[in-house]
Amino acid sequence: MKRVIVYPGSFDPVTYGHLDIIKRALKICDQLIIAVSSNPTKKSLLSLRERILLLKETIKEMKDVRVEEFDGLLVDFLKRKGVRIIIRGLRAVSDFEYEFQMVLANRKLDEKTETIFMMPTEAYFYLSSSLVKELAGLGADISRYVPKFVEEKLKEKISHAKSQKKTF
Ligand code: ADP
């Protein structure tokens, strides 16, 4: 039987930190589904479509991984896919509390789900999509953190947001 794992998140935008976790996850499963949350209550700079397109471009040379969107509860998405395992990345201290809460909440909703945590390489330990957006907004070089096409898309979105005086 194929071992399928779901890697959920906002990916606003995908970073090399996410990619690090994707590569690690592929070592322990036969198929990885990257589940992009369409949760409209969480404000994102990039649209769902843009987030998905950037992820697809990022993984285009990789086998056994695909990108899908989901809305509503993650456990319902898992049930629809017949998957029980969730993978999440774990960075420095900041992730712990939130991730513990999510594991317990998902377990209460469906006790069959299990969550696996993986740590990225040290270079990405403090990297987040928010940091990348902040740095890009200040005009910093973010090529160490995201692929070129992500950098270009971010710059385009940020200059558009600035011209509309929006925050991100
Ligand atoms: P969410 O809004 O669900 O936290 P994110 O896109 O911010 O969505 O993160 C998705 C997953 O990827 C989370 O498990 C997060 O911890 C992980 N992640 C994000 N950045 C990194 C990174 N630099 N290293 C390791 N894991 C990361």
- Write out pLDDT tens, residues 126-138: 999 999 999 999 9
Both tokens of residue 109? Answer: 């909703």
Catalytic residue among 51, 128, 129, 153: 129
DSSP conformation letters of 108-143: HH-TT-EEEEE---GGGTT--HHHHHHHHHTT---T
Question: Is residue 21 predicted with pLDDT exceeding 70?
Answer: yes
The mean per-residue pLDDT over the stretch 105-132 comes to 94
| Dihedral over Cα of 107, 129, 120, 35: its sign | positive
Both tokens of residue 99? Answer: 């991730």
pLDDT-derived band of residue 96, with 50, 70 and 90 as boundaries?
confident
The mean per-residue pLDDT over the stretch 98-122 comes to 94
Q: Which ligand 1 atom is at minimum distance from the Cα of 117?
A: 14
**Domain topology for 4-126:** Rossmann fold (3.40.50)
Check residue 74 and give its pLDDT.
96
Q: Which ligand 1 atom is at minimum distance from the Cα of 87?
A: 14
Is the C-beta atom of 137 inside 6 A of ligand 1?
Answer: no
Q: Is 10 helix (H, G, I), strand (E, B) or coil?
A: coil
Check residue 167 and give its pLDDT.
61
Check residue 161 and give its pLDDT.
81
**Complete edge-to-edge strand list for the sheet that includes strand 85-89:** 65-70, 31-37, 4-9, 85-89, 114-118
Question: Is residue 102 predicted with pLDDT exceeding 70?
Answer: yes
Question: Is residue 104 predicted with pLDDT exceeding 90?
Answer: yes
The mean per-residue pLDDT over the stretch 68-88 comes to 96
pLDDT digits (tens, 9 = 90+) for 41-50: 778 999 999 9
Distance 57 CA to ligand 1 centre (A): 18
The mean per-residue pLDDT over the stretch 83-103 comes to 90
Instruction: Kindly report which listed range (102-111, 114-123, 156-165) carries the lowest average pLDDT score.
Output: 156-165
Buried b (16+ CB within 10 A) or exposed e, 22-56: bbbbbeebeebbbbbbbeeeeebbbebebbbebbe
Is the C-beta atom of 13 inside 6 A of ligand 1?
Answer: no
Whether the upstream peptide bond of residue 120 has omega within 30° of 0, thus cis, is no
**pTM for the full model?**
0.94
